[in-house]
Amino acid sequence: MSAYVLDGAVVADATIARVAESARSLGLTPGLAVVLVGSDPASQVYVGAKGRAAKLCGFHSLQFDLPETTGEGELLALIDRLNRDPAIDGILVQLPLPKAIDSSRVLEAIDSAKDVDGFHPVNVGLAASGVFERALIPCTPAGALILIDRACAHLGAKLVGMEAVIIGRSNIVGKPMAQLLLARNCTVTTAHSRTRDLPAVARRADVLVAAVGRPEMVRGDWVKPGAIVIDVGVNRIAAPERGEGKTRLVGDVAYAEASQVAGAITPVPGGVGKMTIAMLMANTLVAAARIKGLAAPKF
């Protein structure tokens, strides 16, 4: 029996509609500034999608396209200007940045109240301390949690007490995902590519989150029957069956195998990626409400 497919596009569209309605009911027009340095094709696609979503939500959306040769000082000056701009509630600097720019310094320069990516040390610290009501949470794990809740509802399961295994320990996904699941009373193991007997660790999981960046690394026999599988990976691999030089997107999970074992699973594409953009919109509205002293909506 095939797994329940968690359609990220459907859930993301519903989330964006809720954000737009909440913004209208609060009388807010949140301002989102997205900064892109260089011309990385994948980054351009992501930034374009974020801009379109902001318009759907009725936000005031600005995009700053800076050349690859932009210096760190110039980028920091732009961030300082946006920090002080009352029309801007959220600031996002698209990663990766050119090697000549110190990404940590740039992310730390963003006002933590406007850090809609949730990467500023203040937001990281608040989340690590379990103070989620004051933090801005990174968008990908926040979106993944909504999909996990959707899976639990479909399967008639409760997240409390489940064993969760996260493969990946990045600051962007792995670590905040662990914090969110701990806060929901899961028993959490953070595993990674050097974990001893990783397949055996993965097979313990009622909730398995793959965020390691290795194409189809998680095989079907790594998955506990009936588990919820969240695939965060987006990997482009050769697809000679489509023609010479053609490629296709796959996740970190071997979908065809895992979907025959799991209880619920996210596809790639069409899973977590859509939710990341939806949660960016949610974070922008939350930031705007907090800055203006209003009760922030919950998503």
Number of structural domains in the chain? 2
Looking at the structure, tell me whether residues 150 and 238 fall in a common domain. yes
Q: Which of 44-48, 135-139, 149-153, 281-285 has the lowest average pLDDT?
A: 44-48
Query: What local confidence, expressed as pLDDT, does residue 44 receive?
Result: 87
How is 103-135 classified by DSSP, letter by letter? HHHHHHHS-GGGBTTS-SHHHHHHHHTT-TTTS
Q: Residues 212, 215, 217, 223: is their CA dihedral positive or negative? A: positive
Q: What is the dihedral of CA 295, 148, 218, 127, to 10 degrees?
A: 30
Q: In this model, does residue 183 exceed pLDDT 80?
A: yes
Which tens digits make up the pLDDT trace of 28-47?
999 999 999 998 888 888 88
* C-alpha pair distances (Å), 259 with each of 4, 133, 140, 274, 287: 8, 35, 22, 20, 37
Query: Which among 89, 94, 179, 206 is annotated as catalytic?
Result: 94
The more confident residue out of 1 and 3 is 3
Eight-state DSSP code of residue 263: S
Shared domain for 167 and 257, answered yes or no, is yes
Q: Which parts of the chain are beta strand (E)?
A: 4-5, 31-37, 60-66, 90-93, 163-167, 187-191, 207-210, 228-231, 235-238, 247-250, 264-265
Give me the domain span that covers residue 61: 25-120
* CATH code where residue 61 lies: 3.40.50.10860
117 is catalytic: yes
pLDDT (mean) for 171-180: 96
Element (H, E) at 140: helix 139-155
Alpha-carbon distance of 44 to 37, in angstroms, equals 10
Residue 293 included in any domain: no
d(CA 230, CA 227): 10
Which residue carries 């990783």 as its tokens?
198
**Predicted pLDDT at 99:** 92
Could you tell me if residue 291 is inside a domain? no
**Residue 186 · residue 208 · CB < 8 Å:** no
Residue of 115, 117, 206, 252 marked catalytic: 117
Are residues 176 and 107 both part of a single domain? no
Dihedral angle sign, alpha carbons of residues 254, 212, 167, 227: negative
**164 and 212 belong to one structural domain:** yes
| Residue 149 annotated in active site | no
203 and 240 in a single domain? The answer is yes
Neighbours of 108 (CB within 10 A): 15
On the question of pLDDT at 4 being above 90, the answer is: yes
Asked whether residue 65 is assigned to any structural domain, the reply reads: yes
How many whole angstroms separate alpha carbon 8 and alpha carbon 273?
Answer: 7
User: Residue 213: inside a domain, yes or no?
Assistant: yes
Is 50 marked active-site? yes
Cα separation of 108 and 110, whole Å? 5
